[in-house]
Chain A
């Protein structure tokens, strides 16, 4: 396929260089999402590095986590 020469937008550079280790798949994130959100709401200092890294790297999973936290929160 022939494509025109193009630039990578500066904001995309940061996303392209994101360190997504330790690796966690979207399926594994989904499996742990309920317990992770409950634990985080109960203790904002709760740590799960693999989940945190995945949610920083995957917009769709992050959106789902935010919605679940919203539903479980005081205004949900």
Chain B
């Protein structure tokens, strides 16, 4: 397998300013610089695909390698399109790596969910004591308060996004694609929903101290 092979030290050691300048050259130096750039991106995409390969249990080496190449191709276009925003605050290779990692991660997550249904539920009905006494008794007071706040205090869109991301564990890139939006907008919706839930639980006396966790 070719995944996670290091690129040559010549690429990593190239002076940033000279490399960036050559990337805009329309002639042979520019083509060579872009080949070097693609090699660096491929190193990052292979690394990320390899780290996330558990999300694609049926994929063989060829499919993983193909994903890494596709992601590197997409990342190359992204880097070239944003080249004028590189300010030299990090090494150029570090700046380039993050584009490869982003595109590879999105590619793996979308591939993993390609045939899976994404639950989009904008209503929420927690069990009530009368209809499900055992389930109600097993849940803690905080858990019941959170369920009530989800049902009462969130908008339908906030419920749909929050339940998909934090309860049904839908990756944020996958949900963004299905809802025809982007990661930024979904994270803002989630942030606002969390603020509402926290305010609701503070008002009901269920929350005092900050709590930490993570989205998929």
Contacts and interface: CB of A to CB of B under 8 A. Distances in A.
A27 B102 CA distance: 11
B39 interface: no
A64 B105 contact: yes
B18 interface: no
Nearest to B160: A1
A2 B201 CA distance: 26
A61 B91 CA distance: 20
A67 B102 CA distance: 10
A51 interface: no
Interface string B34-59: 00000000011001100110000000
Interface size class of B (residues with CB under 8 A): 35 or more
Q: Would you call the interface of chain A mostly helix, strand, loop, or mixed? A: helix
Contacts of B128: 5
B157 interface: no
Interface in B134-160: 135, 139-140, 142-143, 146-147, 150
Q: Would you call the interface of chain B mostly helix, strand, loop, or mixed? A: helix
Contacts of A49: none
A59 interface: yes
Contact of B201 (A6, A17, A21, A70): A17
B207 interface: yes
A64 B98 CA distance: 7
Closest 9 CB pairs of A and B: A15-B213, A34-B90, A19-B210, A14-B213, A34-B94, A5-B125, A26-B183, A59-B216, A18-B213
